[in-house]
A and B are shown apart, each in its own frame.
Chain A
Amino acid sequence: MNKQSNTYTILYSAIMVVVVGAVLALTYMALKPKQDENIANDKRMQILSAVHLTAPDGDYRSVYEKYVAETFVVNVSGDRTEGDAFGVNMAAEEKKPAQERLLPVFVCKLDDGQLKYILPVYGAGLWGPIWGYVALNDDANTVYGAYFSHQGETPGLGAEIAKPEFQAQFEGKELFKDGSFRSIDVMKAGQKPADNADYVNAISGGTVTSKGVESMLKSCLTDYSAFLDKLKTK
Chain B
Amino acid sequence: MLSKKNKEVFFNPFSKNNPVIVQVLGICSVLAVTAKLEPALVMGISVTAVLAFANVIISLIRNTIPTNIRIIVQLVVVAALVIIVDQVLKAYNYEVSKALSVFIGLIITNCILMGRLEAFALSNGPWDSFLDGVGNGIGYALILIIVGFFRELLGSGTLLGFQVIPQALYDLGYQNNGLMILPPMALITVACIIWVHRSRNKDLQEN
Interface residues of A, Cβ cutoff 8 Å to B:
3-4, 8-9, 12-13, 16-17, 20, 23-24, 27-28, 31, 34-35, 38-39, 41-42, 152, 156
Contact = CB atoms under 8 A, between A and B. Distances in A.
A3 B76 contact: no
Nearest to A36: B91
A41 B93 CA distance: 12
Given A9-B69, A16-B76, A23-B80, A42 B64 contact: no
A1 to B, nearest CB: 10
A217 B65 CA distance: 56
**7 closest Cβ pairs, A-B complex:** A38-B94, A34-B91, A31-B91, A9-B66, A20-B80, A35-B90, A35-B91
B159 interface: no
A28 to B, nearest CB: 6
A4 B68 CA distance: 8
A31 B88 contact: yes
Interface in B174-193: 182
B91 A38 contact: yes
B80 A8 contact: no
B87 interface: yes
Nearest to B66: A9
A27 B94 contact: no
B56 to A, nearest CB: 15
Contacts of B83: 24, 27
B119 interface: no
Contacts of A27: 83-84, 87-88
B64 to A, nearest CB: 7
Contact of A12 (B64, B88, B182): B64
Contacts of A31: 87-88, 90-91
Interface of B: 64-69, 72-73, 76-77, 80, 83-84, 87-88, 90-92, 94, 98, 101, 182
A28 B87 contact: yes
B87 A35 contact: yes
Contacts of A24: 80, 83-84
Nearest to B72: A13
Nearest to A39: B94
Nearest to A26: B84
A3 B66 contact: yes
Given A20-B80, A27-B84, A42 B94 contact: yes
B97 to A, nearest CB: 8
Nearest to A23: B80
B137 to A, nearest CB: 21
B1 to A, nearest CB: 30
Contacts of A42: 94, 98
Given A3-B66, A4-B66, A12-B64, A20 B91 contact: no
A141 B69 CA distance: 64
B76 A20 contact: yes
B87 A4 contact: no
A3 to B, nearest CB: 5
A35 B66 CA distance: 37
A164 B90 CA distance: 25
A23 B91 CA distance: 17
Contacts of B101: 152
A20 to B, nearest CB: 5
B91 A8 contact: no
A54 B90 CA distance: 21
19 contacts: A3-B64, A3-B66, A3-B67, A4-B68, A9-B66, A9-B68, A12-B64, A13-B72, A13-B73, A20-B77, A23-B80, A23-B84, A24-B80, A24-B84, A27-B88, A31-B87, A31-B91, A34-B91, A39-B94
Contacts of B77: 20
A92 B88 CA distance: 27
B90 A13 contact: no
Most A CB within 10 A of own CB, among B66, B76, B88: B66
